[in-house]
Amino acid sequence: MELHQLRCFLAVIEEGGFNRATTRLHITQPALSYQIKQLEQEIGTRLFNRRPGGVTPTEAGRMLAHHAREVMETVRKATSALQELAEGVVGEIRIGTVNSVGIYFLPKVLWSIREKYPSVKPTVLYRHSSEIMEALLANRIDLALIANPGADRRLNQETIIQERVSLVCGRSHSFFERDAIRPSELKGLQFVSLSSQSPTGRLIRDFLARLGVSVEPVVSTDNVETVKKMVEIGLGVAFLPDMVTRSEIACAGGSEGRLTRIEVGPPITRKISLVTWKHSEMSKAAEAFIEELRKFGSTWKGCSDVIKS
């Protein structure tokens, strides 16, 4: 059994099939199929059920996946430790995050890390929050940076940013010139909503429920960029994290802005948290990244005053 075979096997498991796995591994499908066939012959049992709709792991496949992840994690840690011993702050940092944080906050941190430690190689996984947490618990990433994570006794959580989630509208909307509205004025409005499957979407849903406001969105999506663009063109109003709209909002000394923020009731806030294992030794590269993360979090502003915890 070779490490390359295990990498191929895990890629098929984690990507949910052979086609996506070939893209990740940069090999052809016949080459990938050959590696899996060789592995199955060596073990003496099938690892996948092959059906017209795709492949699923057999019981033997699920068992091997568990042990293969442990093997690959051990190899990764050994390689990183040897690199650090020889060179200092080097190696890969595997980061998991969500759309809004990855687009609007993380790039400056990554740029700073690149400037200070050119031998550090960050890789970023973008998924829904629940999938990011699954990846962390399966040791497929080193740390997670997500909004309002659920509690888990195995994990540490550290708030990096606390920000507002604001009601926004475009220039064509009747609310554009207003600084604040009453909650009752939300009734009957056209809304573009973040999916309640996301932590921020649930936060907004619960906020509206506390205000006694029921809305029927014209569109619901988990993509913050889609929501923002629809608000800009006048499809409706939306609640969005301030980091998402900071370049479209008029700031002191800035332009007029394509969007405006409107106060409605008590402020909604969300926490962007760093999530790591409690009892796991971090590499020097990961420690350097976390240090930069804290520094940028302590000074970050989203075109408004940041709310500090």
Q: What is the pLDDT of residue 308?
A: 35
DSSP three-state, residue 167:
strand
Instruction: Assess contact for 13 and 61: CB atoms under 8 A.
Output: yes
Q: What is the pLDDT of residue 84?
A: 66
Tokens standing for residue 155? 């994990």
Q: Which residues contact 147 (CB under 8 A, 6 or more apart)?
A: 98, 100, 101, 129, 198, 199, 200, 241, 270, 271, 272, 273
CA–CA separation, 195 vs 240, rounded Å? 12
| Fold agreement (3-66, 164-270) | no
Tokens standing for residue 181? 């509205």
Written as tens digits, the pLDDT of the chain (309 aa) is 888 899 999 999 888 888 888 988 899 989 999 999 999 999 899 998 887 777 888 999 999 999 998 898 888 888 877 776 666 788 889 999 999 999 999 999 999 999 999 889 999 999 999 999 999 999 899 999 999 999 999 999 999 999 999 999 999 999 998 999 999 999 889 999 999 889 999 999 999 999 998 888 999 999 999 999 999 999 999 999 999 998 898 654 445 689 999 999 899 999 999 999 998 888 889 999 999 999 999 988 755 443 333
Q: What is the pLDDT of residue 144?
A: 97
Measure Cα distances from 107 to 104, 182, 244 in Å: 7, 37, 13
Q: What is the pLDDT of residue 302?
A: 58
- Extents of the domains making up the chain: 3-66, 89-160+271-299, 164-270
Task: Please give the CATH number for the structural domain made up of 89-160+271-299.
Answer: 3.40.190.10
For domain 164-270, the question of CATH label 3.40.190.290 is answered with yes
Tokens standing for residue 288? 């350097």
Give the CATH number of domain 3-66; options: 1.10.10.10, 3.10.129.10, 1.20.1260.10, 1.10.3720.10.
1.10.10.10
Backbone angles phi, psi at 36, to 5 degrees: -65, -40
Q: What is the pLDDT of residue 85?
A: 64
Q: What is the pLDDT of residue 304?
A: 47
Q: What is the pLDDT of residue 307?
A: 38
pTM above 0.75, yes or no: no
Residue ranges of alpha helices (H) inside 59-214 are 59-87, 99-104, 106-116, 129-137, 199-211
CA–CA separation, 291 vs 280, rounded Å? 17
Q: What is the pLDDT of residue 98?
A: 94
